[in-house]
Amino acid sequence: MIPISWYLIFAAALFAIGLFGVLARKNAIAILMGIELMLNSVNINLVAFWRYLNPEAINGQVFAIIVLAVAAAEVAVGLALIISVYRKRNTIVAEDIDMLKF
């Protein structure tokens, strides 16, 4: 049998990789990809806790589905913003997007 620790450590590693992507990438789309990795690792944690600690209740899966819906909404708005910025500034490098700066 697989102990829960395997899933948790895998999810932690995936989260760390996603965090690195968010912090280190220049491109705004690549940053969104890092966020997706982090959200997915959280989902694995939620489902693993549901399966190992409380499989009778359905709460863990419902929580994971809500995370899925929020991730879909977030990526739709994020990509729309990126396209809008690209039209205005012709760049999607995060460092060059400084229209809100004084």
Partner 1 sequence: MTPLQIIFIINAVITLFAAIKVVTSRNLVHAALWLILVFFGIAVFFVMLDAGFLAVAQVVIYIGAIAILMIFTIMLTRRVAKDSGAQLNSNWWGGGILALIMFAGITWILTHWQRFQTTAPTIPATTDSVRQLGVGLVSPNGFLLPFEVASVLLVAALIGAIMVAREQKK
Site residues for partner 1, window 3-62 (CB under 8 A)?
3-10, 12-27, 29-30, 32-34, 36-37, 40, 43-44, 47-48, 50-53, 55-56, 58, 61-62
Distance of CA 54 to the CA centre of its chain: 25
User: Smallest distance, Å, CB 42 to partner 1?
Assistant: 11
Q: Which is nearer to partner 1, 8 or 98 (CB)?
A: 8
Smallest Cα–Cα separation from 60: which of 69, 51, 68, 73? 51
Q: Which is nearer to partner 1, 84 or 102 (CB)?
A: 84
Q: Which is nearer to partner 1, 40 or 100 (CB)?
A: 40
Phi, then psi, of 82 in degrees rounded to 5: -65, -40
Report the DSSP beta bridge partners of residue 93: 27
User: Smallest distance, Å, CB 85 to partner 1?
Assistant: 9
Question: End-to-end alpha-carbon separation of the chain, Å?
Answer: 57
